[in-house]
Structure 1
Amino acid sequence: MITELEQETLDIDWFFISGESIAFVASGGGKLPASVAKSLERNQMLASFFRGLPVRSEIIINPDLNSVVTTAIDERYLADFMHMAERGLYSFDKTVLNNFSEPHYHLVARPVTPLKLDQLPAEIREIISESQYSGDIESTIDTNLIL
């Protein structure tokens, strides 16, 4: 289990699906969905799997990023989001950093050729399918909509 104290003080990588699409999120000290917080081990398994994938896609940086992010948008900020988008995952960052209960995340980068749920090994598909988002993955997400 990932405790609330750990969630509030760490920038935890986590993952979810929306339909057949897969997303990567940097928590920025935000509250994790219960489906993610219930198992640190399973979350680390997903992170290891997705980080180890080969590059599969060109990426598109969110053209509205400057209007959302208050910090400098440079290569250092973009690097991890680009890394995950190149592997086919939609990549999100916390909109209001270090505000534990604020549930909104913005899209930083998206793949041109997304990785699809049915392309994952069964064990990974089973774990990530526990965290499903019911909204539009191409915009700001609200973690309250993740089951």
Structure 2
Amino acid sequence: MEYSLNYQLTKDIDFFLIDRDFNLFHFASAGSLLPDNVINNYEENKLVKSSILQMDELFDIEINPELEEFVEFENENMREQYLRDFIYYAKRGFHSYDNTNINNYENQNYHLVAKPVYPKYRIPYILINCFFRKKLFSQSYSNIYNKLKIDATLNKSMINFNNI
């Protein structure tokens, strides 16, 4: 099953990717178009999210120090509400990104919101197993993996799916 265009444009869809170095990524679409290689993976994405929701918090996290360059907050309460879900995923080992241009559904720029602070050997086995079993680490994702490996080095705070 795939995500319909209407569904993509009316929902804030969480989707998940893993790169060749086993770094885990979470993206919140904010009603924008999904990357082509994600559109056809509705069921797999649902399974991965379900597995993540059952996990315990395993990691300390770091909020992107450049976050206010991408998002404005009226007060601290709004900032905390915004960060809640991104912190949730970061505490479970994901580099968590939000869509940058929510008023332009065609623009697939994402900015880093929060990331885990962890040694690579502590990646939760259940997640890696889930990704492999459901073929999320398949040939069809190779373009995204290659792009993530090149553009999403852990020191960068932006990812763009438009050219994938």
TM-score by length of 2: 0.79
Larger Cα-atom Rg:
2
Q: What secondary structure is seen at the aligned counterpart in 2 of 1:2?
A: coil
CA shift in 2, pair 1:109/1:123, >3 Å:
closer
Paired residues of 2:107 and 2:162 also in contact (CA < 8 A): no
Task: Render the CA deviation track for 1:58-111: whole Å, top value 9, x for unaligned.
Answer: 000000001111344511100000000000100000001142110100000000
State the partner residue of 1:122.
Answer: 129
1:53-72 superposed matches below 5 A = 53-72=55-74
Shift of 1:119: 6.2
Return the structure number with greater relative CO, CA threshold 8 A, min gap 6. Answer: 1
Letter of the structure 2 residue corresponding to residue 42 of structure 1: E
Give the one of 39, 42, 53 matched to 2:41: 39
Query: Once superposed, what is the RMSD of the aligned Cα atoms?
Result: 2.2
What is the total number of aligned residue pairs between the two structures?
146
Range that drifts further, 96-105 or 130-139: 130-139
Does residue 1:142 correspond to 2:156, yes or no? no
In structure 2, the residue matched to 1:90 is: 95
Residue 128 of structure 1 aligns to a residue whose secondary structure is coil
The amino acid across from 2:37 in the alignment is S
Tell me which residue corresponds to 1:30.
Answer: 32
Alpha-carbon distance in 1 for matches of 2:45, 2:52 = 11
- Which of 82, 93, 113 lines up with 1:108 in the alignment? 113
Aligned counterparts of 1:98 and 1:56: Cα–Cα separation in 2 = 34
Question: CA separation in 1, counterparts of 2:81 and 2:113?
Answer: 13
TM-score normalised by structure 1 residue count: 0.87
Shift of 1:120: 3.3
* Higher normalized helix content (fraction of residues): 2
Structure 2, gaps ≥5 residues long: none
Share of identical aligned residues, percent?
Answer: 33
